């Protein structure tokens, strides 16, 4: 099989012998589970994406590490909306099993949520030819009715939206009723101060929609007003709805996006995500780059602060092949920093290469290799976060005296409403160094003592956490 496909792999050529109906097959994945195309998936109304690849094929590795298949599977596979199945078939029967775990370009199994099957000699001689495979990667879409929806998805249009729209184009909607299904969360999941939110929705019934209403809920509390969307969402159509930004006020939040427009099925009217605040660094960072054979021709990066000032960068050609670089930088505190890494080929840094940023305390801020794929964008913050928002819904007054403090401090709180409350003291690195659970506080004024004798001199932030938000005071320990 390798001899037949090798000359075509590098160019990812179109295929021939396109068939009208998919041939049934049963394969066994690396975990010993059987997968029957028709009985397990097509007959259950699912679209199936078949990835014909080989471990020695460069374009196959680029498609595999692009992250598109993982995104599609996580959104629409068994743990998502359960509309799509993905099967990767290693088509070269001469490939040793160990190659899938780290031979050739890298580890194909690690981080891959969908099944991988290493075809037997008999299967490698029949299944690819039944699907007209003459060049790889060939990523074929099979519709629930058994027809070939798209012979090869891999190409210039490759991306989450293209693959998702192709797969759902052959899944019919109901012929009656009204039902908009929340398919997947498509917004950001981390940031220094906040992130943009969006959702993918699908009209799975007959009635067309031109307007929808949504709500954003952070830790169970609605953020802002209802959000209206207008457009054209006909039967079986998909739409990505941008809902604006949401603040990240804590280390982690549970995010829920709800469809507030009434329809026939309220069991599919929400999607969830977890938001994380970006990691915190000191004012000294180290950028490490270990390259591969193609870093010089493919990889570039830029690190900027929130004001657009470039801290470090390298254009294509400025990072040597097989580079081993370590450079130190001093950065300003109280700013957010964004790293953007681009790989023109789309396979990130392979062959055990990586791009890493650490701070002077050893905290890892960025650690990426093949996961870079075509593009990586990630943030970190220098110094502890200082929240500009106050908990006006519950807290009338909040203060810490004396300031500066030597040993004992008094926290003065005046509440508009009764609430559960907690005190956190955070150092300049964003580390919680003291916590005190205040239990349920009654409406009105109260005072609480904290002993800071064991803390080193420096700047600290005292957070009052209630059921509705956070209030913060900056103090100096002498």
Are residues 182 and 213 in contact, defined by beta-carbon separation less than 8 angstroms? Answer: no
Q: Is the pLDDT of residue 344 over 90?
A: no
* pLDDT score, position 391: 67
Q: Work out whether strand 310-314 and strand 299-305 pair parallel, antiparallel, or are unpaired.
A: antiparallel
Can you read off the two tokens belonging to residue 430? 């964003």
Fold of 280-382: Lipoxygenase-1 (2.60.60)
Mean model confidence pLDDT for the chain: 88
* pLDDT score, position 5: 38
Q: Is the pLDDT of residue 9 over 60?
A: no
Can you read off the two tokens belonging to residue 234? 């006909």
The pLDDT tens digits of the residues spanning 178-188 come to: 999 999 999 99
Whether 2-168 and 280-382 share one fold: the answer is: no
Write down the domain spans for the chain.
Answer: 2-168, 180-277, 280-382, 395-477
Can you read off the two tokens belonging to residue 123? 């299967």
The pLDDT tens digits of the residues spanning 348-393 come to: 787 678 899 999 988 999 998 766 767 888 999 988 665 545 667 7
268 dihedral zone (left: phi>0; alpha: psi -120 to 50; beta)? alpha
Are residues 200 and 132 in contact, defined by beta-carbon separation less than 8 angstroms? Answer: no
Backbone angles phi, psi at 37, to 5 degrees: -55, -55
132 dihedral zone (left: phi>0; alpha: psi -120 to 50; beta)? left
Question: Which of 470, 463, 23, 97 is closest to 249 using CA atoms?
Answer: 470
Q: Is the pLDDT of residue 245 over 80?
A: yes
- CATH number of 395-477: 2.60.40.1930, 3.30.565.10, 2.60.40.10, 3.60.21.10? 2.60.40.1930
Q: Is the pLDDT of residue 85 over 90?
A: yes
The pLDDT tens digits of the residues spanning 391-442 come to: 677 888 999 999 889 889 999 999 998 988 889 888 766 678 888 889 889 9
Backbone angles phi, psi at 121, to 5 degrees: -60, -40
Fold of 2-168: Glutaredoxin (3.40.30)
Distance of alpha carbon 353 from alpha carbon 291, whole angstroms: 5
- 307-325 CB burial, b ≥16 within 10 A, e <16: eeeebbebeeeebeeebee
Q: Is the dihedral of CA 115, 120, 124, 126 positive or negative?
A: negative
The pLDDT tens digits of the residues spanning 401-412 come to: 998 898 899 999
Q: Is the dihedral of CA 344, 374, 99, 129 positive or negative?
A: negative
Please state which of the ranges 24-33, 72-81, 330-339, 385-394 shows the lowest mean pLDDT: 385-394
Beta bridge partners of residue 194, listed in sequence order: 247
* pLDDT score, position 18: 43
The pLDDT tens digits of the residues spanning 156-206 come to: 788 899 999 999 999 999 999 999 999 999 999 999 888 999 999 999 999
Please determine, looking at this structure, whether the domain spanning 180-277 carries the CATH number 3.40.50.920.
Answer: no
Are residues 171 and 47 in contact, defined by beta-carbon separation less than 8 angstroms? Answer: yes
Assign 3-class secondary structure to the chain: CHHHHHHHHCCCCCCCCCCCECCCCEEECCCCCEEEHHHHHHHHCCEEEEEEECCCCHHHHHHHHCCHHHHHHHHHCCCCCCCEEEEEEECCCCCCHHHHECCCCCECCCCCCCCEEECCHHHHHHHHHHCCCCCCCEEEEECCCCEEEECCCCCCCCCHHHHHHHHHCCCCCCCCCCCEEEEEECCCCEECCEEEEEEEEEECCCCCEEEEEEEEEECCEECCCCEEEEEEECCCCEEEEEEEEEECCCCEEEEEEEECCCCCCHHHCEEEEEEEECCEECCEEEEEEECCCCHHHHEEEEEEECCCCEEEEECCCCCCCCCEEEEEEECCCCEEEEEEEEECCCCCCCCCCEEEEEECCCCEEEEECHHHCCEEEEEEEECCCCCCCCCCCCEEEEEEECCCECCEEEEEEEECCCEEEEEEEEECCCCEEEEEEEEEECCEEEEEEEECCCCCCEEEEEEEECCCCEEEEEEEEC
* pLDDT score, position 276: 93
The pLDDT tens digits of the residues spanning 89-122 come to: 999 999 899 999 987 778 899 999 999 999 999 9
Using 50, 70 and 90 to split pLDDT, how confident is the model at 10?
A: very low
- The residues, ordered by sequence, that sit 6+ positions from 328 with a Cβ below 8 Å of its Cβ are 284, 285, 286
């Amino acid at each position: 099989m390798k001899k037949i496909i090798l000359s075509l792999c590098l160019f990812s050529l179109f295929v021939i012998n396109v068939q009208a109906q998919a041939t049934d097959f049963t394969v066994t994945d690396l975990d010993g589970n059987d997968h029957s195309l028709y009985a397990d998936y097509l007959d259950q109304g699912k679209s199936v994406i078949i990835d014909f690849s080989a471990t020695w094929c460069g374009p196959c590795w680029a498609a595999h590490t692009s992250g598109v298949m993982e995104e599609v599977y996580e959104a629409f596979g068994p743990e998502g909306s359960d509309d799509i199945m993905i099967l990767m078939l290693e088509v070269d029967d001469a490939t040793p099993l160990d190659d899938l775990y780290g031979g050739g370009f890298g580890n194909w199994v690690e981080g891959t949520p969908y099944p991988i099957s290493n075809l037997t000699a008999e299967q490698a001689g029949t299944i690819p030819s039944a699907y007209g495979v003459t060049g790889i990667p060939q990523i074929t879409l099979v519709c629930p009715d058994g027809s070939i929806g798209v012979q090869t998805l891999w190409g210039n249009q490759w991306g989450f939206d293209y693959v998702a729209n192709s797969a759902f184009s052959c899944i019919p909607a109901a012929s009656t009723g009204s039902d908009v299904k929340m398919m997947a969360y498509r917004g950001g999941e981390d940031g220094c101060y906040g992130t943009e939110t969006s959702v993918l929705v699908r009209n799975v019934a007959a009635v067309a929609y031109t307007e929808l209403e949504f709500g954003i809920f952070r830790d169970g509390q609605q953020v802002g007003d209802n959000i209206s969307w207008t457009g054209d969402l006909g039967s079986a159509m998909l739409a990505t709805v941008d809902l604006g930004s949401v603040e990240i006020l804590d280390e982690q939040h549970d995010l829920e996006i709800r469809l507030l427009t009434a329809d026939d099925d309220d069991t599919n009217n929400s999607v969830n995500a977890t938001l994380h605040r970006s990691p915190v660094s000191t004012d000294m960072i180290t950028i490490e780059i270990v390259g591969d054979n193609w870093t010089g021709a493919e990889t570039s990066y830029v690190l900027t602060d929130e004001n657009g000032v470039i801290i470090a960068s390298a254009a294509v050609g400025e990072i040597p092949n097989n580079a081993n670089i370590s450079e130190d930088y001093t950065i300003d505190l109280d700013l957010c920093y964004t790293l953007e890494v681009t790989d023109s080929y789309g396979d990130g840094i392979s062959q055990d290469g990586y791009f890493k940023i650490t701070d002077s305390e050893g905290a890892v801020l960025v650690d990426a290799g093949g996961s870079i794929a075509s593009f990586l964008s990630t943030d970190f913050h220098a110094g502890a976060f200082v929240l500009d928002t106050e908990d006006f819904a519950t807290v009338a007054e909040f203060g810490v005296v004396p300031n500066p403090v030597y040993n004992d401090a008094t926290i003065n709180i005046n509440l508009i409403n009764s609430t559960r409350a907690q005190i956190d003291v955070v150092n300049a690195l964003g580390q919680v160094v003291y916590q005190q659970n205040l239990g349920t506080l009654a409406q009105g004024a109260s005072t609480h003592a904290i002993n800071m004798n064991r803390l080193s001199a420096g700047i600290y932030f005292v957070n009052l956490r209630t059921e509705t938000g956070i209030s913060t005071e900056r103090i100096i320990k002498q």
